[in-house]
Amino acid sequence: MTDLFAATVAAALSRLQTDPSAFDTVLAPHGEAGALRPSLQELLDTRQQALKADADVGLVADMLRRDQKFAPPGRPSIHLVQLRKQQASAKQAALIARQAYGRAAQDFVRALSLKITPRLTPIAVADRWMQTKLG
């Protein structure tokens, strides 16, 4: 599902960059489409960055698991230390990307006046909106 959602986000972002008025019919019921385009652009940009950062964390974790499996006991090799540093920086980048996406989702939900229930976060509402409207 994540790969499909990532492809949907990438396709929507590409379509929006090629034709700025591509999603005006979807945005029109929530207000003036021209005024809502920047918040949609920001939402798609930050979501794509967050998905990419999460994928990077997974890749580095896979490499580290694979290489640690065959490492001899004792002091870790320089390669493993570098992979651990890379994993830490990838996790930090993913955290920053998710925070940026959270802010963008909150701004987007507020701009479109979407209803948030107590059990749903702005991120969940924005994700659901993107899956139904942009997919």
**In Å, how far are 17, 32, 36, 57, 97 from 25, measured between CA atoms?**
16, 10, 11, 36, 29
- Using one digit for the tens of pLDDT, what is the confidence trace for 41-95? 999 999 999 999 999 999 999 999 999 988 888 899 999 999 999 999 999 999 9
Instruction: Report whether 45 contacts 100 (CB < 8 A).
Output: no
Could you tell me which of 54, 49, 56, 37 has the C-alpha nearest to residue 10? 49
Please give the model's pTM, rounded to 2 decimal places. Answer: 0.89
Q: What band does 5 get if pLDDT is binned at 50, 70 and 90? A: confident
What are the domain boundaries of the chain? 2-133
Cα angle value 36/40/44 (rounded, 5°): 175
- Residue 51 · residue 9 · CB < 8 Å: yes
Q: What is the pLDDT of residue 101?
A: 98
pLDDT recorded at residue 62: 96
Helix axis angle, 33-69 relative to 78-112, nearest 10°? Answer: 160
Confidence of residue 1 (pLDDT cuts 50, 70, 90): low
